[in-house]
Amino acid sequence: MKVLVTDPIDDAGLERLREAGHEVETAYDVTGDALLDAVSDANGLVVRSGTQVTDAVFEAAPDLVIVGRAGIGVDNIDIDAATEHGVIVANAPEGNVRAAAEHTVAMAFAAARSIPQAHARLKAGEWAKSDYLGTELNAKTLGIVGLGRVGQEVAKRLDGLGMDLVAYDPYISEDRAERLGAELVEFEACLERADFLTVHTPLTPETKDLISTDELELMGGGYLVNCARGGVVDEAALAVAVENGTLDGAAIDVFAEEPVSEDNPLLDVENVVVTPHLGASTEAAQENVATSIADQIDAAFNGEPVINALNAPSVDQSAFPRIRPYIDLAETAGKIAAQLFDGRISSVEVSYAGDVAEEDVELVTASALKGVFEPLEWQVNAVNAPRIAEERGIEVTESKTRQAEDFQSLVTVAVGDDEESLSVCGTLFAGDDPRIVRIDGFRVDAIPHGQMLVARNYDKPGVIGFIGTVLGENDVNIAGMFNARRSVEGGEAITVYNLDDPVPDAVREKLLADDRITDVKYLTLNGADE
């Protein structure tokens, strides 16, 4: 597989990809048509913040499987467009967490003790000891806006230095905050109580200029630190707040526009400490994010879970071996259900019973949807299947139960319209041997592979023999079969055939001409061309 790298990353990541057998091409600083040309035959794309990955990039790269961001922020990647094209977007949020947290702590101390200002004046020959009366962090209140990975690491470090912690984060529980030593409060209360405020949120339409003039006035003094994303703090408002004494100072590592223009108002304010986006700039962090994203790209190529996928279902690496066989089983059950159902599909239900119901099955459900949609000739994969369902108005439901009748685990995919539905139920024998054990309520035992024929008929003598004769006369070899009927003799029955050869339409028509046979469906599954 070919991986295009358009922003510099640590050599350890490039080597990791090459060792996995992939072709790696570097093309730094390409933009516009040059970027579109470069990515046209790529299977993977690795970027940092410099490359803008737009809808045009996805249009130009039909074979693209994954875009990996060697870092946390993905502001430069159009995730909606990626999803529409079935491309995974992943980042490396863990690799530079420690580095970002340490830089945040360093910036808080730098602002509180005027370290850069004193350094510059001493270098210029001034002994300005009496001009700088610093602020201790001990016994002060730290306000944390965003208690995610970096925010939690900052909390641990500054809690250990004797600070009282308050935090605002609508997506974290009070119990988790308490375990970190922080009191969870509302946004305004966090600002009002903070002597030092540190920001750790992504940049989204909701968080743009989250902290502006009104919010800074709520702080009523103290210091603001932003080592998260530029644009979350209104830079012009912050400059004014520090200049007029609303705040005592600030420390900023990230900016709305980078590199920073010379007329950025923060550059002219004495009590604002600035650094050029150094939060992740440590040797260890750069190696970590590079190797992390390389591993995720390799996983995507191998059909394994992408741990930090942002637009695709993911699963914990330790749990993946337990659910991996069910991914293929659910996809196959979905394919069978879609090919057997005659109506327009308006609903899909995926049900889990037994041991599998205890697992994280988001990826399994997405694979079931992929199986349902594939026979309808939609361009679909596990990334965009949920989106396709939403766009086409298909209702998707998921259910779980610990009861699984006679099986250790069961996965059922049911498709339907407003009037009727059809279900296909599968399980695993001996741990990883897939079987279809029920079709539309009929108990069967079919191997879901290759070419299959599903015939519905009345339970009368000679029907199975007739079907076998017709198939044999047309050189269609039967590899296996299973017959089931309703409880009433002479009623409805179903027969599932595993075949070595395709079934021409003329053969199906000949079978349907017999009034004992009510329906015949020819299915193609994985391995049909092998």
Instruction: Give how far the C-alpha of residue 523 lies from the chain's centroid of Cα atoms, to the nearest Å.
Output: 32
Give the tens place of pLDDT for each residue, 154-208. Answer: 999 999 999 999 999 987 888 889 999 999 999 999 999 999 999 999 887 889 9
Give the tens place of pLDDT for each residue, 198-224. Answer: 999 988 788 999 999 999 999 999 999
Quick one: average pLDDT of 81-93?
91
Class of domain 97-274: alpha beta
229 noted as active-site residue: yes
Which of 19, 178, 186, 258 is catalytic? The answer is 258
Q: Are 53 and 44 in contact (CB under 8 A)?
A: no
- Which residues are within 8 A (CB) of 503 and not within 5 positions of it... i.e. 6 or more apart? 451, 453, 471, 474, 476, 522
How many angstroms separate the CA atoms of 87 and 95, rounded?
Answer: 23
What is the DSSP code (8-state) at residue 489? Answer: T
Q: Are 162 and 139 in contact (CB under 8 A)?
A: yes
Quick one: average pLDDT of 481-495?
81
Which of 16, 200, 229, 438 is catalytic? The answer is 229
What is the CA angle 137-154-310, rounded to 5? 155
| Element housing 433 (H / E) | strand 433-439
pLDDT of residue 377: 55
Q: Are 143 and 198 in contact (CB under 8 A)?
A: yes
- Domain borders along the chain are 2-94+284-301, 97-274, 320-524
How many angstroms separate the CA atoms of 489 and 36, rounded?
Answer: 65
CATH superfamily of domain region 320-524? D-3-phosphoglycerate dehydrogenase; domain 3 (3.30.1330.90)
For 490, phi then psi, to 5°, come to 85, -5
Q: What is the C-alpha radius of gyration for the chain, rounded to an integer number of angstroms?
A: 30
Quick one: average pLDDT of 295-319?
84
What fold characterizes domain 2-94+284-301? Rossmann fold (3.40.50)
Which of 48, 277, 438, 508 is catalytic? The answer is 277
Give the tens place of pLDDT for each residue, 45-59. Answer: 999 988 999 999 999
- Average per-residue pLDDT in the chain? 92
How many angstroms separate the CA atoms of 10 and 303, rounded?
Answer: 25
25 noted as active-site residue: no
Q: Is 530 exposed, middle or buried (0-12, 13-18, 19+ CB in 10 A)?
A: exposed
Nearest to residue 421, comparing CAs of 438, 440, 405?
Answer: 440
Which tokens sit at 384? 């965009």
How many angstroms separate the CA atoms of 526 and 228, rounded?
Answer: 46
259 prior amide bond cis, ω within 30? yes
